[in-house]
Amino acid sequence: MSVQPQTSAAGQVVAITGAGQGIGRGLALAFARAGARAIVVADIDEATAGSVAREVRALGVEAVAVRANVTSGEDCEAMVQRATRDFGRLDVMVCNAGITQLKPLLELDGVDWDRMLAVNVKGSFLSLQAAARAMREQPRPAGGRPRGKIIMMASIAGRSGAGPIAALIAPYRASKAAVISLTQSAAIALAPDITVNAICPGLVETDMWKRMDRDWTALQGVPQGEAWRQRVAAVPLGRPQQPEDVAGLALYLASPAADYMTGQSINIDGGLMMN
């Protein structure tokens, strides 16, 4: 039996939402370096999507930038159609786009909940659905492998606990718990043609966490950076997470090595959550 490299994306066409910055950008560059044939860089900010697409092309990989508001079914369908029109198929869909907010529980209102669930849950669903419709119509790769792979971006915040910050991110935590549940439902609905798995990162050092630290320290009345320092100090592996750490797991899930895995939500957080 031949052993497939666990981090090979050789020949794959990959679409990534929220790819204009942070984890999404890291994923786009990682898939390009791992041998992907083409990357669809989707983001609501067309300028940042274009910038990342140029970075991908500089690595010798085809890339297109697509402006996509994931709360719009039409935008999600157009994103997938761009992949299939330009590159013939879509092998991997990474539903990464998401937002966060820090606000005390009793100060939250309906608008806060609507916005969070619209982007993080509805957006994940619509991009998953658009990708799955296209994937089910395309031929299987050689060897009878799945017709496509969908990777959801959840969070350890969707698990139990989450520490003192839990009181300030109720809609975000609820949205990521919903993504974990959606992953399981979709895995059942789309088997055996398509695998669906979720990644649950921890403290990823991105602009999103910088904004969270700014808001959290303001609420606590402590110097900026202190909330981040406290959270990182609790990580058993002793450092914050980088987008590359998340990308390593995404590459594995997209590879032949994970063809028999579906419906799983995997923690990758330096040991913050252990189960």
Of 128, 122, 180, give the one whose Cα is nearest residue 149. 128
Residues carrying an active site annotation: 172
- Phi and psi at residue 153, in whole multiples of 5°? -110, 100
Residue labelled with tokens 């992949």: 83
SS3 content of the chain, % helix, strand, coil (to 5): 50, 15, 35
Spatial distance between the Cα atoms of 202 and 272, rounded to a whole number of angstroms: 7
274 Rama sector, left if φ>0, alpha if ψ -120 to 50, beta otherwise: beta
Containing 175, the helix (H) or strand (E) segment is: helix 170-190
